[in-house]
Structure 1
Amino acid sequence: AAATRPGPPPLPVRSGPCGRAFVLVDHGRPAATIVIPPDAGEAARRAADILRTSVLKMSGVDLPVVAAAEPSRPNCAVLGFPPESLPPEVATALPTLRPDGFVAAASNGHLYVVGGSGRGVVYGVVHLLEKYFGCRRFSPTAERFPRADDLALGCLYEAVNPANDVRAVNGDLTLDADYRDWLRLTDLREIYGDGYYVHTFDRLVPWRTWFAAHPEYFALMNGKRVPDQPCLSRPEVFDIAAARLREEMAAQPDKRTWSVSQNDNFSYCQCPECLKAIEEEGSPAGPVVRFVNRIAALFPDRTISTLAYQYSRPAPRRTRPLPNVEIMLCTIELDRSRPIAEAPASASFVRDIGDWARLTDNIYLWDYTVNFSHFVSPFPNLRVLAPNIRFFAGHGVGKHFQQTNTGPGHEGSELKAYLLARLLWDPKTDPDAVVDEFLDGYYGRAGRWIRRYIDALHDALERSGARLDIYEPPAVHAADYLSADDVAVYNGLFDKAEAAVAGDREALGRVRTARLPLLYAELEIAKDDMFGPRGFYEERGGRFAARPDMVRRLESFAARCREGGVRNLNEGGLSPEAYVEAFRRFVDVQVEGNRAFRRPVAADPPPAAKYARGDLAVLTNGVRGAADFKVHWLGWEGLDFVLTLDLGAPAAAREIALSTLSDARSWILHPASVACEVSADGASFREAGTKTVPGDHRDEDAVRTFLWTDDTVPPGTLAATRFVRFRVEGVKRLPDWHASAGGAAWVFVDEIVVR
């Protein structure tokens, strides 16, 4: 059976109408005073400010806020007072509160709102404003404060604890403090040591400091020491990490949680000592938990967090994490189209979370709820959020990080953050009711049409049975939930949504931004099907011409991004401006006058099959790759390679070009050099020259074109050219500045052009 999370029993909730037990505003006049203790902390002061400003927005009345040892006048909103200053029925509930829990009560002519040791008093005020006055904060820029000349509460007593003690929804939106408080979300910066949230081994044992002199401190992989991870069996590594952590804790004494966790790569030490621990524990998590337990024992008053991520996700068989060890369990590999408990592909995770829950009740769940490579793309996962959070709760999880990467224009960001926040507070929340409330409040009259779009999108995914991955391009779904017929339905619904709010500038702007993912998907599918029925080009009289409707879509996408303040389109920070520029480059097809168009290419060794299916025809299909390495690029990992193009017949060439990609976050770097050779017969080759990439490959342009022209090579070199051979020398290993230095570097190549 899954572990249950310990804690106090459920708190009573009692409320009922009994007239105007507490009056804030009476016929447009102030009727209450907000009182906080003289030594009020930040939470009580924040609660007072939220109550004051909310009443002002609703009624135009500015209630006074005073600091006093106790309420000395009638009709006070008493916020954040200690137990000795509270009525017994309020004070007795305080020991049952979690840090963010609260009690709200109308008693003795006053309103009392008090919380646990966290931000409970803030959330208590927000709760009253939402439940009894209909206030809402839908986004950092969208709110609802109903106008009223009378604001009063009936008799009430409510004591509430959140289901989860840590409730984080990642992204730009939740950097807004006011918005974060209204959504009752946790600011992780208040909990974790600065720089010590995740992937910290390199901070604790920096390879740049230690690897050259002591390679034995680092992971043994395939018989060779590599700097990817430390060797957790070495006593020196433990001593270095413990000393560094002690220094950092001394510099940040207020931070209670510190990460001691694996670097973000797939390597782990396989020296005899580490392998023995892995075999005993049945998982590479074994050496990690043993190491972290030893660290945690040195700092019993701190929480030491570590990852159960990728290779370390399976729990150890023998070693139980210490009580002050937090297990940060990650779902990165899972299918997002089905609830975890129901998806066959997620069976191993179901096993793993059950195993961890039997070992510890200190699990921090890291979930992924967005397409990281394509923030602005349809990603129909709303229906799995509630069942997944309930599934996690059933396994004793009490802390959550929902990596949603919210931001302007990102698919459903505002809605997803709003829904997740409510589910994290109370997993029993009805997600459909929350979605409807949000859509009506945020989009106005267009809300019902966007609801129909969301339903149609999810229905299409479910009919198809397709998997939903957090890194895939939209073109993967061109035959299922993004089929031409389905996209036509979605566009019809958005046409109606825009028409419904045509006279409401603010709501129309939100609807236009909400349509961005649909436009983005159409553009990405057009790139993948460049000359096909959904492509960017159509053939007219033997020539290719851009389809006017696709040109309009690109222009509309660019305009809507500007209007909506969209800053980035993927995890790598790709800006809309850079995307549009790269898109125009991509669709600047290399057909007219290009002798290489659709000519065969040989490769030795062949490219990796997992990108563009390893199809060498990609190199001469007339389409130049843009910033996404998964579309129209071929890759080689840690290798040099040779490409040979056959133009079919000898003829003079004026220029020869080959393009490569740089995406350091994905371990992709431009090659160290590319040498070009040409031949008339395929046997005897002439050198056209070698191009090199200077510097350390840091901060390179995404796409680099290597160019040889008849005026830059020895005279006559490009005459009688049938075969073109490129000798590509890769960097092979990621350089020192890279976070995963020493790992195998990829080279990605795309369009070959010969004119």
Structure 2
Amino acid sequence: MKNFSFLISLIVFNAIIFSSCNNKNQLQLVSNGVSNYEIVIKSDASSDIKNASGVLQKYFQIISTAKIPIVTEEHQSINKKKIVVQVQNINKNQLKISTENSNIFIVGGSDSAVQNAVYEFLESYLKCKWYSPTAEEIPTSKNIVLSNTINYSYTPNITTRTVHSKLFYENPEFAAKHKVTTNAFPYYVPSARVHTFNKFIPEEVFYKTNPEYYALRGTKRLPTQLCLTNNEVYEIVKDSVASLFRQYPDANVISVSQNDNQQYCTCEKCKIIDETERSSSGTMIQFVNKIAANFPDKTISTLAYQYTRKPSKTKPLSNVLITLCSIECDRSAPIEENCIDFSEDLKGWKQITENIRIWDYTTQFTNFLAPFPNLHTLQPNIQLFSENNATWVFEQHSHNPSELFELRSYITAKLLWNPSLNIDELITEFTNGYYKESGVYVKKYIDLVHEKIQEDNDFFLFLYGDPSQAFNSFLKPALLKQYNSFFNEAEKAASSPEVLNRVKCARISVDYAILEACKKGISEDFQLVISDKNGTKSINPVVNQKLINFYETCKKNNITLMNEMGFTVEEYFNNYKKSLEVASQPNKAFAKKVTLLTKPKKYANENPQTLTDGALGGSNFYANWLGFEGANLEAIIDLEAVTEISSVSTAFLQVSNHIVFFPVKVSYYYSNDNQKFEKLGVLKNDTPLTKTSKINDIKYFNLEFSKVKARYIKIIAENMNKAPYWHHAADLPSWIFADEVIIN
């Protein structure tokens, strides 16, 4: 009953806004499509203020058909009321919306604050909603009435707000409506935004002649990071920074920051500083402070990231911007609950600097399109940042279309502007507005998948994880069926092709999870192939149709990437078709015993039978791949009886940024006594690793030969053993990951 009363009150409230009324406590802005108001700006108003006034005029006309004129103060009419749009002498980020003597004042402390004030007025008082660049909800009425007692003031704590989404980057007007930046690194030198050590002192130029410029790792100098106590390194970086500021005079921020690895310098000088500072950020802050001292009118940005995340004892200079990164955190719960070390580091930096930029992460980078139920963490995390001197927050989403892309972009921007907004109300507002009559079913999916992950206290929701990790949790078979049914209902409810297409885009994450579940064969309902009563295998038609629907929806909506490594939807589609082909063909190795002669590590439960269990690996090493770190794969498969064969194939994975490389070569042998083995053939990797190799790929090492009779098949896949010197993980052990062995 209480909720029903609230709904009635809301209806009455909206009716008052868009109705004709002569109450002295109300302002009649528009009556029957006519207005007695003018939008008043100063004669010397900037182009930004003129544009903001034009936006206000435009939406008044869309709502009521009344075109309210824009005039300067010198030309305002005596007998007309005013809507004043101007900059005032208040905090540069503050905005105010107020009424006085039947006039309306929409003001801010800067041009950008005035623009924010205009959009806040349109959204909060005229009820305009902008869900995506192509979906908005604008009320229409010949009469617009507002309260005559408005006195609203707001100053956001987070003053630079970025959501890493092309919806904002490619649509500046949409970004303005949501008060976020139109690029990831506003104010920065374009060519020096992050991970800049190798840009200032590139390995290709300096490493062979000056290895002392680089990090000492054990007994070797490696071009992974710089040696920050080397004075020549300081001079080169200082000169590079000066050159770039001259090249980009309008930029006022440059990044002087570590490369994207943890291979920092351990030479005696660097080591003493880091030990004294009780953090590896010690050498970093001392180095960056030294650079920053040369550019007092500019900002030098650096990273507090991985090995430099813990605060140093040395305080950063006032023109040093600390960019604190939360990459390690579990996303199944708020940071203060599941990533206490990070929250403590944030509070530690707060004690020594007021210049903090947060680099937060909101998607699964290895699987953009997978269910990633972390929406319940966004608000408490942003509140944590806001309360700890983070005036600049960069929420790194996928940039490209991903799971619930429009919804995530919308609510993240809303929370950056006002962290106290109710997250559930925001989600409901969006699902009802964007998915219309289908929204209730999309919301049911969102609610249930988030409820289920919060019930699983042991689940680590990782940025570099995989849906296969959740098949015993929030993606278990019964839940996948339920999610699928929600989207079936949502599609049935859609009353227009446009809404139906939005629903299909929303369901691609569930479809992707189901496709991966079938590849792994997690239950009888989720299988790649089915068998008839004679045991003849054929491709599961449900899976085939699901794959086609997934691909066609992605293609229609320009959804092109599966992950940050550049693995495309097209490649996924073709690889999946190959998996269907592999799964449907006979395999004499299926379910046969595997003996490993070398020891695997960590993944696929280190289970040798991963190689013959019929489950096929995906594009991520969590998904049914058997991994070997710094060692070869050597395995023997027992076919249980002497069998005639003429081909053997093994799939291998490459994820080069995670030190997962294809084997150098794969050798196949056969035997009938498991003692003496004869060589069947050797396949060299015809795409050896280079700096330009595909980051994410799957390769089949398929050998065909004249028929032989064999019981035992030996496979030896030769590991590179270590990452090459130019790789960010130089000299660290490399991995090989193997999947299903097919013998026929």
Partner of 1:450: 442
Partner of 1:178: 173
Deviations 1:422-467, CA, capped at 9 Å, x for gaps: 2222222222222222222112222233323222222222223233
Select between 210-219 and 556-565 the one with higher mean Cα deviation: 556-565
Partner AA of 1:708 in structure 2: L
Give the one of 154, 163, 180 matched to 1:160.
154
Q: Structure 2: how far apart are the matches of 1:648 and 1:750?
A: 21
Per-residue deviation, 1:740: 5.7
Partner of 1:79: 85
Q: Structure 1: how far apart are the matches of 2:247 and 2:73?
A: 35
**Contact conserved, 1:377 with 1:520, CA < 8 A, in 2?**
yes
Deviations 1:485-507, CA, capped at 9 Å, x for gaps: 33333333333333333x23322
1:514 paired to 2:514: no
**Contact conserved, 1:21 with 1:153, CA < 8 A, in 2?**
yes
Give the one of 564, 567, 577 matched to 2:570.
577
1:415 paired to 2:407: yes
Q: Structure 1: how far apart are the matches of 2:656 and 2:452?
A: 35
1:705 paired to 2:694: no
Q: Structure 1: how far apart are the matches of 2:440 and 2:671?
A: 65
**Contact conserved, 1:531 with 1:537, CA < 8 A, in 2?**
no
Q: Structure 2: how far apart are the matches of 1:661 and 1:132?
A: 55
Partner AA of 1:573 in structure 2: G
Distance 1:253-1:537 versus aligned 2 partners, 3 A rule:
same
Partner AA of 1:561 in structure 2: C
Partner AA of 1:257 in structure 2: V
Partner AA of 1:79 in structure 2: V
Q: For structure 1, which runs of at least 5 residues remain unmatched after alignment? A: 1-14, 82-90, 711-715
Q: Structure 1: how far apart are the matches of 2:438 and 2:586?
A: 49
Per-residue deviation, 1:22: 7.4
Q: Structure 1: how far apart are the matches of 2:472 and 2:669?
A: 41
Per-residue deviation, 1:543: 3.7
Q: Structure 2: how far apart are the matches of 1:485 and 1:198?
A: 43
1:566 paired to 2:559: yes
Distance 1:59-1:313 versus aligned 2 partners, 3 A rule:
same
Partner AA of 1:50 in structure 2: V
Q: Structure 1: how far apart are the matches of 2:315 and 2:24?
A: 53
Q: Structure 2: how far apart are the matches of 1:373 and 1:17?
A: 58
**Contact conserved, 1:169 with 1:420, CA < 8 A, in 2?**
yes
Give the one of 549, 553, 559 matched to 2:542.
549
Partner of 2:48: 43
Select between 44-53 and 254-263 the one with higher mean Cα deviation: 44-53
Partner of 1:84: none
1:380 paired to 2:373: yes
Partner of 2:420: 428
Q: Structure 1: how far apart are the matches of 2:441 and 2:423?
A: 18
Per-residue deviation, 1:588: 2.6
Q: Structure 2: how far apart are the matches of 1:256 and 1:17?
A: 52
1:137 paired to 2:137: no
Select between 663-672 and 736-745 the one with higher mean Cα deviation: 736-745
Q: Name the SS of the counterpart of 2:462 in structure 1.
A: coil
1:84-99 equivalences under 5 Å are: 91=88, 94-95=89-90, 97-98=91-92
**Contact conserved, 1:590 with 1:597, CA < 8 A, in 2?**
no
Give the one of 251, 261, 266 matched to 2:262.
266
Q: Name the SS of the counterpart of 1:588 in structure 2.
A: helix
Per-residue deviation, 1:690: 4.2
Partner AA of 2:251 in structure 1: K
Per-residue deviation, 1:154: 4.8
Q: Structure 1: how far apart are the matches of 2:503 and 2:643?
A: 55
1:311-390 equivalences under 5 Å are: 311-316=307-312, 318-343=313-338, 346-390=339-383
Q: Structure 2: how far apart are the matches of 1:72 and 1:109?
A: 15
Per-residue deviation, 1:577: 2.7
Give the one of 598, 609, 612 matched to 1:620.
612
Q: Name the SS of the counterpart of 1:320 in structure 2.
A: coil
Q: Structure 2: how far apart are the matches of 1:117 and 1:733?
A: 55
Q: Name the SS of the counterpart of 2:121 in structure 1.
A: helix
Distance 1:551-1:48 versus aligned 2 partners, 3 A rule:
same
1:646-661 equivalences under 5 Å are: 646-661=638-653
Partner of 1:10: none
Distance 1:593-1:339 versus aligned 2 partners, 3 A rule:
closer
**Contact conserved, 1:595 with 1:753, CA < 8 A, in 2?**
yes
Per-residue deviation, 1:126: 0.2
Per-residue deviation, 1:185: 0.9
**TM-score, structure 1 normalization:** 0.87
**TM-score, structure 2 normalization:** 0.88
Partner AA of 2:174 in structure 1: Y
Partner AA of 1:227 in structure 2: P
1:205 paired to 2:211: no
**Contact conserved, 1:354 with 1:395, CA < 8 A, in 2?**
yes
1:403 paired to 2:396: yes
Q: Structure 2: how far apart are the matches of 1:734 and 1:79?
A: 60
Distance 1:689-1:421 versus aligned 2 partners, 3 A rule:
closer
1:243 paired to 2:249: no
Q: Name the SS of the counterpart of 1:662 in structure 2.
A: strand
Q: Name the SS of the counterpart of 1:653 in structure 2.
A: strand
Give % identity.
31
Partner AA of 1:566 in structure 2: I
Distance 1:32-1:567 versus aligned 2 partners, 3 A rule:
farther
Deviations 1:694-723, CA, capped at 9 Å, x for gaps: 56543448222223322xxxxx6x634444
Q: Name the SS of the counterpart of 1:113 in structure 2.
A: strand
Q: Name the SS of the counterpart of 2:328 in structure 1.
A: coil
Partner of 1:461: 453
Distance 1:222-1:643 versus aligned 2 partners, 3 A rule:
farther
Per-residue deviation, 1:402: 1.3
Partner of 2:188: 192
Distance 1:166-1:556 versus aligned 2 partners, 3 A rule:
same
Partner AA of 1:332 in structure 2: I
Give the one of 686, 691, 694 matched to 2:679.
686
Partner AA of 1:709 in structure 2: E
Deviations 1:228-276, CA, capped at 9 Å, x for gaps: 1111111111111111111111111111221111111121111111111
**Contact conserved, 1:232 with 1:287, CA < 8 A, in 2?**
yes
Partner of 1:751: 740
1:59 paired to 2:52: no
Partner of 1:229: 225
Partner AA of 2:114 in structure 1: V
Q: For structure 2, which runs of at least 5 residues remain unmatched after alignment? A: 1-16
Per-residue deviation, 1:127: 0.7
Partner AA of 1:368 in structure 2: Y
Q: Structure 2: how far apart are the matches of 1:645 and 1:601?
A: 5
Deviations 1:713-745, CA, capped at 9 Å, x for gaps: xxx6x6344444444344445557756666654
Q: Structure 2: how far apart are the matches of 1:638 and 1:529?
A: 30
Partner AA of 2:371 in structure 1: P
**Contact conserved, 1:406 with 1:417, CA < 8 A, in 2?**
no
Distance 1:165-1:118 versus aligned 2 partners, 3 A rule:
farther
What is the RMSD computed on CA atoms of the aligned residues? 3.0
**Contact conserved, 1:730 with 1:747, CA < 8 A, in 2?**
yes
Per-residue deviation, 1:307: 1.3
Q: Structure 2: how far apart are the matches of 1:499 and 1:350?
A: 45
Distance 1:606-1:72 versus aligned 2 partners, 3 A rule:
same
Q: Structure 2: how far apart are the matches of 1:679 and 1:166?
A: 67
Q: Structure 2: how far apart are the matches of 1:311 and 1:679?
A: 50
**Contact conserved, 2:662 with 2:685, CA < 8 A, in 1?**
no
Per-residue deviation, 1:481: 1.9
Partner of 2:526: 534
Q: Structure 2: how far apart are the matches of 1:131 and 1:63?
A: 19
Per-residue deviation, 1:42: 4.9
